Structure 1
Amino acid sequence: MRIAAEFDALYGARPEGVWAAPGRVNLIGEYTDFNEGFVLPLALPHTAVAAVSRRDDGVLRLHSRDIEGAAGGVVQAEVDALAPGSVSGWAAYPAGVVWALRDAGHAVGGADIHLASTVPTGAGLSSSAALEVVTALALDELYGLGLGRPALAVLAQRAENAFVGVPCGVMDQMASACATEGHALFLDTRDLSFRQVPFDLAADGLRLLVVDTRVKHALGDGAYAERRAGCEAGARALGVRTLRDVSIAQLDDALRKLEGETEAVRRCVRHVVTDNDRVARVIALLDGGDPRAVGALLVEGHTSLRDDLRVSSPELDLVVETAVGAGALGARMTGGGFGGSAVVLVESERADAVSAAVTGAFAAAGYGVPGIFAAVPAAGARRVG
C-alpha cells in the first residue's frame, strides 16, 4: 500500500494501520443540522486516508502528501500543549481531534500520522470532516477507546467547532463515520438516530451528478456563523429550543411573531423550516419509489438557499439554471455555499448532454472549467490496512 510505504520513508517504520474516511455530498437538508433538524447525505468514493502509529512520548507528528495548503513538512506538537489556536491550517483538523479526545477524558497519547486525500477541498464535500473522522477512527482503534461511530462523529465535530473555529453542525462527520454503500443517510441531528435509505439511482435509470464549480469557499470567514446566529436569534424570539421545533404548519404564525426581528432572521427561519419539510418529502418520495419527483424539491431547495439564506453564488446559480434548462430533473447547491458544488438529478441518457451544457455555460460566462462526476453512495469510515 502506497501510503504505508510513504509512512515508512517519512517516520522510519511501518504504520500500525491504515484507515479511510469519505467526503460526502448532501442530497437535501442544508443549514438544518445545527438546528437539530433533518438531513440526507451520502458518502462519496473520495476519501481521506491515514497511516497511523502510536507514540509513547506525547509527541504528535502530522504530515500530508497532497492536502491543499500543506507545505510538505511535518507539523509537530506536544499533545499536552494542544489548545484551540495552537495549530493552524490543514493540520488543525487532525490535531483538533487529538485535543477533543483528550479533553473528553480519553487516554490518547502521541501519534505519527501521514495523510492523503482525494476529497476536493473547498468544494462543499466535507474534506475537513473526512480528515477528522479518519483520525478519530484510527486513534479509537489504536488506543482501544471503544467509542461508537456517532460518538466519534460528535468528537470530530467538536474539534472543528472548538479547535478549528468553524461552527458546523454534525451532519458531515456523521455521514463520513456512519454511511453505508448504496444508501443515503437519513439523519435526525437532534438525537443522532439514523436510517440507511436505499439509494440506487442507476437501477431507476437516473444519475446524481456533482458539479464542483471550483470556486473555493472558507466557512471560517464569518458568513456561515452569521447564518447560524440568525437561526439562533429566530429560535430565541419564538421561544423554542431550535428551529427544528417549528413545523411547516406553524411557519406562517412564526413569521408573524418575528415581525419585530430583522429580515435576515426571518429569512433564516423560513429556510430552515421549509428545508426540514423538504427532507421529509424527499424521504417519502424515495420510500414510495418515485425518485424522479425529487428533482423539483432540489430546485425548490436551491431557490430557498439563494433567496432566503443568500448563500449561493453566480456560479452555483448558473449550474442549476443551465442543468434544468438542458433537461435535468432538478438541481441545487449543496454544502455551505458561497462556491463549492451543486448536485444535479438527471436521467442517465441525458447526463452527458447536461454536463456539456454546464461546461459550455461556464466557458461562455468566463468561468473556469467545472469538475463533474457521478455520485455513487460509498462506504463510511473503515480500516483499510
Structure 2
Amino acid sequence: MTDPVEHGPGRTAAAFQEVYGAVPAGVWAAPGRINLIGEHTDYNDGFVMPLALPHTTLAAAAPRADGVLRLHSGAVPGSVVELRVAELDPAAVGRAGGDRGGWAAYPAGVVWALKDAGLAVGGLDLHLDSTVPTGAGLSSSAALEVATAAALNELYGLGLDSRSIARLCQRAENAFVGVPCGIMDQTASACCTAGHALFLDTRDLRMRQVPFDPAAEGLRLLVIDTRVRHELGDGAYAQRRASCEAGARALGVRALRDVPYAHLNSVVAELADDPVTLRRVRHVVTEIRRVEEVVECLDAGAVRAIGPLLTAGHASCRDDFEISCPELDLAVEAATAAGALGARMTGGGFGGSAIALVAEAAVERVSTAVDRAFAAAGYRPPRLFPALPSEGARRLL
C-alpha cells in the first residue's frame, strides 16, 4: 500500500493523462475511516462515532458528452472498464468488474444511483488511486464511492451537500453492489473534519463534530491491521442485519435504537427462548450506550476514560455479535496486556483492523507486543500506524 505522503493529486492527474491521453478536469479525495465506537449500530438507527483517516482514495475525472463511462484503477492491473451510463443496472452489475463485488461496481453504482435519483449525470472518464487498505475494515469501498460522487457532483453541477452524497453512495452499495451496509462509512468519508470524531445519529443524520486530539493528551490511537481480509458481501453481514431486524420485530419497535438501555433486563427475559437474537440485540443496545458514554467522556476532556469502553465494545462484538476473529482477539489481548488503555476491533468484522488507545510512552512497547504475539501464533505480521483524525471529502486539484 502506498504511504499517504507519496500519494498526491499531481501523480493521480498524471496517471489519468497516461491512461486517457488528456488532462483531467480535476482531482477529488475521500478518506477511509476508523470507527472509534458504535459497531453495527448504524443500520439499527443508532449512534456511531467514526473519524476520517489521512489515507484517501483520489479520483481524477473528466466529463464525457457521449454517455460512456470509462473506469480505471491504479491498484488493479488490466484495461479500462467501459460501460454506458444509460445501460447501468444492478441486474447487470457483473459487467462492472467481473463479479458482483468487483471494484468497478462501486463507481459504476454511484453513477447509477445519481441517475436513478433523477440527477442529470452524463459520461465520465475516471482514474482512481488509493492508499486506503482494502479489506482492512477501514471503508475503502466508501472512500471510492464518495470520491466518485464528489467528482460527479462538481463536474455536473448537481448541487448535492455532503449528507446527500453519503445517502446516494450508500444506495449504490446497497442496491448496485449488493452489500446491505448502513450509512456510517459514507457519511464519515463525506463529512468528517480534521481533529474531530463525528458523533452521528444514523436515523436522521444529525451530527456533531466532537474534538478528539489524543496527541494533546499524550496519547496515540493505533490502528492494527491484522491483514486478515474480510468480505462483507459473503452473507455474514446480511445475517447479522436480519437478526437485528428480527429482534426489533419481536420487541415491537421500529429499530433496535428504540430499545432503552434501562430496559435491557426485560429484553433478556423476553428473548430468552431465542439466544442468538438475544445476543445480537444486547450488543446493539449496549453499544449504542457506549457511544453515548464515549461522547460524554470526550466532552468532559477525559480522553483516557474511553479506554475501558473500547475494550468492553470489543468483548460485545466478539461474544454477542460474533464478528471478531482470532487475529483481532489476539491484537486486542496483546495490546491491553502491554499497557494499552483500551482496544477493540473496528469495522464490519470477520477480519480487518483493531484500534488501541495507547500512552505515547508505551507505543513502542505495545507495538512490539502485538508483533511478537502474531509471530508466536504463526500469523502474518500486522501493520500498525497511528490514526490521525483527518478531513473528509474535498477537491484537491
* Range of TM-score over shorter length: over 0.9
- Distance, in Å, in 1 between the alignment partners of 2:131 and 2:157 is 28
- 1:1-385 to structure 2, matched below 5 A, reads 1-66=10-75, 70-84=76-90, 85-86=92-93, 87-88=96-97, 89-260=102-273, 262-385=274-397
Query: What displacement does 1:72 show?
Result: 2.5
Q: How far off is 1:98 after superposition?
A: 0.1
SS of 2:253 mapped into structure 1: coil
- Letter of the aligned partner of 1:20 in structure 2? A
- For 1:201 and 1:368, locate their aligned partners in 2 and report how far apart those are by CA, in whole Å: 29
Are the counterparts in 2 of residues 302 and 332 from structure 1 also a CA contact under 8 Å?
A: yes
Are 1:213 and 1:339, in contact at CA under 8 Å, matched by a contact in 2?
yes
Matches of 1:76 and 1:349, distance apart in 2: 51
The structural deviation recorded for 1:181 is 0.5
Q: Deviations over 1:67-119 (max 9, x none)?
A: xxx23210010111111142241000000000000000000011000000000
Give 5+ residue unaligned stretches, structure 2. 1-9
How far residue 277 of structure 1 moved from its aligned partner, in angstroms, is 0.1
Q: TM-score, normalised by structure 1?
A: 0.98
Report SS of the residue matched to 1:213. Answer: strand
**CA RMSD, 1 decimal:** 0.7
**Structure 1, unaligned runs of 5 or more:** none
Shift >3 Å, 4+ stretches: none
Counterpart AA for 1:276: I
Cα distance in structure 1, aligned partners of 2:27 and 2:272? 54
CA deviation map 1:181-240 (0-9, x unaligned): 010000000000100010111010011000000000000000010000000000011111
Aligned amino acid, residue 252 of structure 1: N
Aligned pair count reads 381
Tell me how far apart the structure 2 counterparts of residues 60 and 338 of structure 1 sit (CA, whole Å): 34
What is the one-letter code of the residue matched to 1:63?
Answer: H
Q: Note the C-alpha offset of 1:6.
A: 1.4
Any idea what the Cα deviations from partners look like across 1:131-169, whole Å, max 9, x if unmatched? 000000110010000011000000000000000000000
Q: Is the contact made by 1:65 and 1:72 (CA closer than 8 Å) also made in structure 2?
A: no
- Matched to 1:127, the amino acid is S
Tell me the secondary structure at the aligned position of residue 79 of structure 2.
coil
The CA distance in 2 between the partners of 1:144 and 1:381, in whole Å, is 16
